[in-house]
Amino acid sequence: MANIIEEILKLIPQKDKISDTSFEGANIILYTKDKDFFLNNQSMIKGIVDTIKKRIELRPDPAITMDVEKAEKKINEILPKESGIGNILFDPQRSRVIIEVEKPGVAIGKDGELLREIRKQCLWVPVIRRLPALRSKIIENIRAVLYQHSDERRKFLDKVGHRVYDGWMRTKKEEWIRLTYLGGARQVGRSCLFLQTPESRILLDCGVNVAASDQNAYPYLDAPEFKIEDLDAIIISHAHLDHCGIVPFLFKMGYRGPVYMTAPTRDIAALLALDYIGVAFKQAKSGIFDVNDVKEMVKHTICLDYGEVTDITPDIRITFYNAGHILGSSLVHLHVGNGLHNLVYTGDLKCIATRLLDPADTRFPRLETLMIESTYGGKDNILKPRLEAEATVIQAARETLEAGGKVLIPVLGVGRAQELILIMNEAMETGKVPHCPIYAQGMVWDVTAIHTAYPDFLGRDLRKSIFHNDKNPFLSPNLRRVGSRKEQDEIIKQDSPCIIIATSGMLTGGPSVEYFKQMCDDPKNTLLFVSYVGEGTLGRRIQEGERRIVLTDGERPEELNIKMRIHIESSLSGHAGRTELMRYIQNLQPRPKKVIVNHGEQSRCLDLASSIHKVNRIETEAPKNLETIRIR
Ligand code: ZN
């Protein structure tokens, strides 16, 4: 083994006190069987971290941790009741105890004193995790998968560390970087970028095109240069199916390496994948992966916070920054080689503040090449000011609700759904629309519950309202969960006005289509579009004016006569509009030398690339799928 561990041990005065060492991804873990050594040397370790610039942690050896039952009792004594203790889960392989609490601040104590107390009295390393304020069975299941496979997880993380460090301090080969688009070039959907260097094979996103028929739905994983057995790591920018939908399929094909993403992205991505299988089965298509593949994805995920710098291979180091698009969405900064080149992949981004999130970050330590989305990158894609757009949806909702109708809002489940919940809830509280239930259909509810588990990822104002004013809009009594098909039917039968938020956003399947079928012939109702709809989808056909539609995906053809009102408001998008994108390039610090435009319909990609070039005199490209660009 290359010996970063030997280098570290040289710096420890009593290195014979170290009983074992292992990697947890790029983090280096030292174990000791000496209680005093464990308790008295945290600052010495901090010193080494500063010298060697790698994350190092000293833990008690599993042999000296306190008996689990006794430790659980002790922890309950140490932590105050107001912290709202939930599950206490022991991870004996790694000497960690995960303590779920409602109020992490209370459990941590002033300057972390309660955590120090747990370390001292129990000889376990406490990890505090927030219990979501809205409970959801599925989140608990996702988390349980991680706790259940503790031994496997330790081995996996150690293997990842070896991949990162075994080439450490090796003499350098010639350096180069190549980027191949396996999907998501000049199109929206199936985003998948393959980045190669002499040391690394990385995928940035791996999504499905939900609007496409089968053969065009998936990225070009059959491209000759892509071999799944050589893949080192997958990085997921955010939890939308067009960026993460195919990751479980890679596990089905045998991939067992790491998937890097933020914690909210992991939870939402797992949920979407499970829902996607459900949708696939309902449409009588066989799923291309199953529940076990989703489980493997969760087990191989390594979560990073914004700003946390991590080596993922011997020559690539990544950092996530806020992208402002949906909860947990990231701009991925890649530092390649020893200062050779710095890239930022934006995934999807929003450059102004929304109710939910802060705007995308613009400052990076270094930046030479930017890969940016262009969903609304065309000259004509000027979005209205946010407040104006909000006012129009509020007005549409008010007119419908006052006339006794229902408002159906098809959404992607994550992003617009929660934004709309915030907008409508506030409109009710301030009397701008009549009070009525906001029904969050199954999937939308579960994703909303995940939002309540990660308030630290939310925008400044919302965070303030939750933490300082103790006012969490996601806990509003107006918001109601819809689980079963029966509940769904009852809502439609009810004569009272309401707002229904349901997936899918493009009306390509899922409950939104069921609601739509039953609501479309009543002129009192309104269909409110706030999300992007792909070419060829039912959503796009309605937006383009079709009012007589024959659905052929059921047992027999079904003719729909659309009499409900149609209202389109694309300015509430979670994507940056044209003006935002152009301004974003100008606000970037440092200014990139090259901009590659992706994730947009062909004309918009080309238009944005040429405008960025004209205005900023920066080299731009808008590659096609399967094209490779040599970046260095
Ligand atoms: Zn997205």
- Residue 320 has a pLDDT of 98
Cα(189) to centroid(ligand 1), Å:
9
- Residue 340 has a pLDDT of 82
Q: What is the mean pLDDT of the chain?
A: 93
**421 close to 473: Cβ distance less than 8 angstroms:** yes
Q: Is the pLDDT of residue 2 over 70?
A: no
Rounded CA separation 141/168 (Å): 38
- Residue 147 has a pLDDT of 78
**540 close to 506: Cβ distance less than 8 angstroms:** yes
- Which residues pair with residue 594 across a beta bridge? 369, 619
Q: What percent of the chain has pLDDT over 90?
A: 80
Cα(579) to centroid(ligand 1), Å:
19
Q: What is the pLDDT of residues 248-261, one digit of tens each?
A: 999 999 999 999 99
Q: What is the pLDDT of residues 594-630, one digit of tens each?
A: 999 999 999 999 999 999 999 999 999 999 999 999 9
Q: What is the pLDDT of residues 342-351, one digit of tens each?
A: 999 999 999 9
Q: Model pTM?
A: 0.93
Cα(137) to centroid(ligand 1), Å:
25
Helical pair 602-616 and 578-587, crossing angle rounded to 10 deg: 40
284: pLDDT confidence band, cut at 50, 70 and 90?
low
- Residue 1 has a pLDDT of 40
- Residue 163 has a pLDDT of 92
- Residue 394 has a pLDDT of 97
Cα(265) to centroid(ligand 1), Å:
11
Q: For the residues 78-91, what does the mean pLDDT come to?
A: 94
Cα(238) to centroid(ligand 1), Å:
7
Using alpha carbons, select from 456, 409, 401 the residue that is nearest to residue 434.
401
Q: What is the pLDDT of residues 406-450, one digit of tens each?
A: 999 999 888 899 999 999 999 999 999 999 999 998 789 999 999
User: Residue 368, SS3?
Assistant: coil
Rounded CA separation 402/266 (Å): 40
Cα(477) to centroid(ligand 1), Å:
29
Q: Which two tokens stand for residue 260?
A: 């890097």
Start-to-end Cα distance in the chain: 30
Rounded CA separation 189/600 (Å): 9
Q: What percent of the chain has pLDDT over 70?
A: 97
Q: Is the pLDDT of residue 68 over 90?
A: yes
- Residue 551 has a pLDDT of 86
- Residue 167 has a pLDDT of 67
Q: Give the DSSP letter string of 296-324.
A: HHHHTEEE--BT--EEEETTEEEEEEE-S
500: pLDDT confidence band, cut at 50, 70 and 90?
very high
Q: For the residues 199-211, what does the mean pLDDT come to?
A: 93
Q: For the residues 562-582, what does the mean pLDDT come to?
A: 95
Q: What is the pLDDT of residues 291-308, one digit of tens each?
A: 999 999 999 999 999 999
**545 close to 426: Cβ distance less than 8 angstroms:** no
Cα(508) to centroid(ligand 1), Å:
17
Which residues, chain by chain, have CB under 5 Å from ion ligand 1? 240, 348
Cα(574) to centroid(ligand 1), Å:
8
Please report the domains of the chain, with CATH numbers, ordered by start residue.
Answer: 65-131 (3.30.300.20), 172-380+575-630 (3.60.15.10), 386-572 (3.40.50.10890)
User: Residue 584, SS3?
Assistant: helix
Q: Is the pLDDT of residue 267 over 50?
A: yes
Higher local confidence (pLDDT), 257 or 471: 257
Cα(373) to centroid(ligand 1), Å:
10
Q: For the residues 465-483, what does the mean pLDDT come to?
A: 90
**55 close to 317: Cβ distance less than 8 angstroms:** no
Cα(343) to centroid(ligand 1), Å:
20
Element (H, E) at 561: strand 558-561
In what side-by-side order are the strands of the sheet with 18-24?
18-24, 27-32, 56-60
Using alpha carbons, select from 71, 105, 63 the residue that is nearest to residue 90.
71
**579 close to 382: Cβ distance less than 8 angstroms:** yes
Rounded CA separation 102/86 (Å): 8
> Which residues, including other chains, have CB under 8 Å from residue 157's CB and lie 6 or more apart?
22, 23, 24, 25, 302
H helix runs in 186-262, sequence order: 214-217, 241-244, 247-252
- Residue 212 has a pLDDT of 81
**275 close to 312: Cβ distance less than 8 angstroms:** no
